[in-house]
Chains A and B, each alone.
Chain A
Amino acid sequence: MKLKKVVSSITALTMTAALLAGCGGSTGNTEQTPTPAADNTAGQTEQEAPKQEETKADAETPAVEEQVLKVAAFEGGYGADMWSEVAAAFEASHPGVTVELTVDKKLEDVISPSMKAGDYPDVVHLATGREAALTETLTKENALLPLTDVLEMTVPGEDVKVKDKIVPGFLDTLATNPYGDGVTYYAPMFYSPCGLFYNAGLFKEKGWEVPTTWEEMWALGDTAAAEGIALFTYPTTGYFDAFTYATLSSAGGSDFFNKCMTYEDGIWESENATKVFELIAKLGEYTEATTVANANNDNFTKNQQLILDNKAIFCPNGTWLPGEMADAPREDGFEWGFMAIPAVNEGGAGCSFCWFEQMWIPAAAQNQDMAKEFVAYMYSDEAAQIFAKSAAIQPIAGVSDYLEGDNKLFYSIYDNGATAVMGGFAATAPVEGVNMLDTLCGTVNSIVSGDKTVAEWQAAVEEASDKLRAAME
């Protein structure tokens, strides 16, 4: 009996001790909590201290001592291989540097737990506009490092400054200077023109002309409707950000567009904005009937399939669409066509929103100097060529010349007279319960299905804009 008691006590104590030890391990680098089981923690702290000194030392004599650069990159449609290749090339040109690479399709889920515990990557390649909104969150929290000095740096291995290598225009947008104050926080990476995709084969077969104005567009819509083909479809309402940005810019010019993006008072109720709202509403009437039912993450490819099946003519998307639908069955004679969005005003230029991914350095990064060096290296010819092999095109002059086939057509859209529109909504402090993109784009489903009127939509957008303006610094 007594023995049994002793044995159970010991077992229970062991369990408790094991629990505590487990907690100690997971506390990671919280230096200020000396827990009883802190052997682990203490060890880590000791390791960290010299690392910081090391970084300081490096600032004076760069790239001599061994150092580790933690790079986290989003694995998009371009694949993960190009990242390992670039990392290897960077290591080769920077002796002593080891790049610790994290590449994942759900990068937020991989890096944010350790970020919450204070362990930040040094460089992150992750675009804005993703559902988890990690980039936006850090921006709203002022947790990014300004990249102003990176732009002044010389590209490693070359004698050009970073800012001179980047195509003009890419650094003056709200998608690189999120606070609208002229300070660059995001480095522009792979860009992709967004526009309307269609089946060029269908146009040849039916003898239709590709419309260049909205008048021609509606006329085509009526002709096609008679043959049971809808004019328009969209994968999810998420794609209306690019569509609205482009049409806003086309309706009122780039100044007007920037005022919309910085929430100027009454701008969403102005004449130019009204044109855009009404244009989308009219497009809603020409939208394929089942689009709304499939406009969700599970079924959006069914909407894209409508183009391949000649059930709808146009679909707004980015250049990744042909890759995404590469294995899908299609009508005979199918051929990808891609055009800019027709001008909103008569006689104006067509427009295409240029979407690009961004790279940034968290303010809490440990190895900031090497991180800046890495960002600068991204614009070297060596890196650009590695990326271009996977069709990931950076805004560096001449890089799109490496392209072949369909991609060449897509990237030539700006050569054919379309205006490039870049940017996005300015960053504000988080406003509880207000989500501009949801209000502006999500509502399109209700417009198409007739559950809301244009006036209600417009009023809701203006209301959200008012609330966000108050939160801008």
Chain B
Amino acid sequence: MKKGRARSVFIWVCVAPAVILFTVFMLIPTFNVFKMSLYKWGGYSNTKEFVGFNNFKILMEDMNFFRSFQNTILLIVCVTVVTMALSLIFAAILSREKIKGQNFYRIIFYIPNILSVVVISAIFSAIYDPNNGLLNSIIGIFRGKDETPILWLGDQKLVIYSLVIAMIWQAIGYYMVMYMASMASVPESLYESANLEGAGRIQQFFSITLPLIWTNVRTTLTFFVISSINLSFLFVKALTSGGPDGATEVFLSYMYKQAYTNSSYGYGMAIGVVVFLFSFGLSAIVNLATKRERLEF
């Protein structure tokens, strides 16, 4: 009895630092975001006015918010689908095929990931430059130099896809390395027997590789949701500042604008709450939708 109590005291003492850190840096701030979303507050003074759900009511009628919502969803979907497809293909090729300089490609693909987003933005603004940019110069070879340049960052219908391209370029290497790590643990014997039974490479990929790394793929889906929301803010901030005329405004950039530039901190926090619930909900849905029986090997 006495020993049992001493044991639980010991356990409590050991987990205390982590629990305190978690409470101070995660629970309290999150709770505060929820609390602040119910106030009208500019961020500095002591005049906080409790307004209930008024901030959310305004949010439901704010067309600019819906535009940022649309843009964010578009980014999440496009970036996730394309990045996942490409990095799975590259991972499969690099881990299953015997290519010269495998490690070299691995490093090359991973480099964008260690660059800061600001650097990537600078690279892409050079690529997208309407007059001397890489992209327009290459396209110019085919469509003739006299055509009006394509405004990658100026055309409101195009600009969001310009962001998508930059984000995909940045993300591929990271996910490729993650998929390669789990592909490496798939036993070679499975492929050998598949070879004997006459399965082609594509069939092997879909029947052996993909099912066996499925747990890993599911985990990365949650990563995709979170990182698309977070990184899109950095890209927008550095590359387009939400422009032209709000065409690339995303969740967090709009939240930032409202909370700081527009002095509506409470409203910004209300957007924060929506983003929180949205990313939580989306991750849960994605997780449920991709649930499969776990395959052991």
A430 interfacial contact with B, CB 8 Å? yes
Please determine whether A292 and B154 come into contact, CB atoms closer than 8 angstroms.
Answer: yes
Please determine whether A19 and B155 come into contact, CB atoms closer than 8 angstroms.
Answer: no
Please determine whether B156 and A446 come into contact, CB atoms closer than 8 angstroms.
Answer: yes
Please determine whether A116 and B263 come into contact, CB atoms closer than 8 angstroms.
Answer: no
Which residues of chain B are within 8 angstroms of A302 by Cβ–Cβ distance? 129
Please determine whether B42 and A298 come into contact, CB atoms closer than 8 angstroms.
Answer: no
| B191 CB, nearest partner CB in chain A, Å | 46
Which residues of chain A are within 8 angstroms of B43 by Cβ–Cβ distance? 116, 137, 141
Please determine whether A143 and B128 come into contact, CB atoms closer than 8 angstroms.
Answer: no
A23 interfacial contact with B, CB 8 Å? yes
A interface footprint on B154-187 (CB within 8 Å = 1, 0 otherwise): 1110000000000000000000000000000000
Please determine whether A16 and B154 come into contact, CB atoms closer than 8 angstroms.
Answer: no
A297 interfacial contact with B, CB 8 Å? yes
Q: A9-B13, A289-B151, A297-B241 are in contact. List 4 more A-B contacts (CB 8 A).
A: A140-B263, A143-B44, A236-B241, A435-B257
Prevailing SS type, chain A contact patch: helix
Please determine whether A13 and B153 come into contact, CB atoms closer than 8 angstroms.
Answer: no
A115 to B16, CA, bound (A): 32
Please determine whether A19 and B244 come into contact, CB atoms closer than 8 angstroms.
Answer: no
B267 interfacial contact with A, CB 8 Å? yes
A295 interfacial contact with B, CB 8 Å? yes
| B23 CB, nearest partner CB in chain A, Å | 10
The 4 closest A-B pairs by CB, nearest first: A293-B154, A445-B244, A292-B154, A141-B45
| A436 CB, nearest partner CB in chain B, Å | 10
B17 interfacial contact with A, CB 8 Å? yes
Please determine whether A445 and B243 come into contact, CB atoms closer than 8 angstroms.
Answer: yes
B interface footprint on A341-353 (CB within 8 Å = 1, 0 otherwise): 0000000000000
A5 to B20, CA, bound (A): 21
Please determine whether A446 and B245 come into contact, CB atoms closer than 8 angstroms.
Answer: yes
A331 to B64, CA, bound (A): 42
A13 to B14, CA, bound (A): 8
B239 interfacial contact with A, CB 8 Å? yes
| B21 CB, nearest partner CB in chain A, Å | 7
Which residues of chain A are within 8 angstroms of B154 by Cβ–Cβ distance? 290-295, 445, 449
> Which of B20, B131, B260 interacts with A19 by CB under 8 Å?
B20
Please determine whether A445 and B130 come into contact, CB atoms closer than 8 angstroms.
Answer: no
A189 to B117, CA, bound (A): 37
Please determine whether B45 and A142 come into contact, CB atoms closer than 8 angstroms.
Answer: yes
Which stretch of A128-136, A207-215, A278-286 is in the interface?
Answer: A128-136
| B40 CB, nearest partner CB in chain A, Å | 7
A138 interfacial contact with B, CB 8 Å? yes
A interface footprint on B15-46 (CB within 8 Å = 1, 0 otherwise): 01100110010000000000000001011110
A337 interfacial contact with B, CB 8 Å? no
> Which of B21, B149, B238 interacts with A290 by CB under 8 Å?
B149
A433 to B54, CA, bound (A): 12
Residues in chain A within 8 A of chain B (CB atoms): 5, 8-9, 12-13, 15-16, 19-20, 23, 112, 115-116, 131-133, 136-138, 140-143, 236-237, 289-299, 302, 430-435, 438, 442-446, 449, 451-452
| A298 CB, nearest partner CB in chain B, Å | 5
A23 to B246, CA, bound (A): 40
Which stretch of B55-63, B72-80, B106-114, B206-214 is in the interface?
Answer: B55-63
> Which of B21, B44, B55, B128 interacts with A432 by CB under 8 Å?
B55
Which residues of chain B are within 8 angstroms of A293 by Cβ–Cβ distance? 128, 130, 151-155
B189 interfacial contact with A, CB 8 Å? no
B71 interfacial contact with A, CB 8 Å? no
Which residues of chain B are within 8 angstroms of A295 by Cβ–Cβ distance? 154, 243-244
A449 to B262, CA, bound (A): 26
Please determine whether A296 and B264 come into contact, CB atoms closer than 8 angstroms.
Answer: no
Which residues of chain B are within 8 angstroms of A430 by Cβ–Cβ distance? 40, 42, 262-264, 267
Please determine whether A136 and B44 come into contact, CB atoms closer than 8 angstroms.
Answer: no
Please determine whether B59 and A433 come into contact, CB atoms closer than 8 angstroms.
Answer: yes
Which residues of chain A are within 8 angstroms of B131 by Cβ–Cβ distance? 290
Please determine whether B121 and A298 come into contact, CB atoms closer than 8 angstroms.
Answer: yes
> Which of B152, B245, B266 interacts with A442 by CB under 8 Å?
B245
Which residues of chain B are within 8 angstroms of A138 by Cβ–Cβ distance? 42, 44-45
Which residues of chain A are within 8 angstroms of B156 by Cβ–Cβ distance? 446, 449, 451
Which residues of chain A are within 8 angstroms of B260 by Cβ–Cβ distance? 131-133, 137
Please determine whether A298 and B245 come into contact, CB atoms closer than 8 angstroms.
Answer: no
| A341 CB, nearest partner CB in chain B, Å | 23
Please determine whether A432 and B10 come into contact, CB atoms closer than 8 angstroms.
Answer: no
| B261 CB, nearest partner CB in chain A, Å | 5
B122 interfacial contact with A, CB 8 Å? yes
CB under 8 Å from chain A, chain B span 48-94: 55, 58-59, 62, 64-65
> Which of A9, A12, A298, A431 interacts with B122 by CB under 8 Å?
A298
Please determine whether A141 and B121 come into contact, CB atoms closer than 8 angstroms.
Answer: no
> Which of A115, A133, A294, A296 interacts with B130 by CB under 8 Å?
A294
A438 to B262, CA, bound (A): 10
| A178 CB, nearest partner CB in chain B, Å | 13
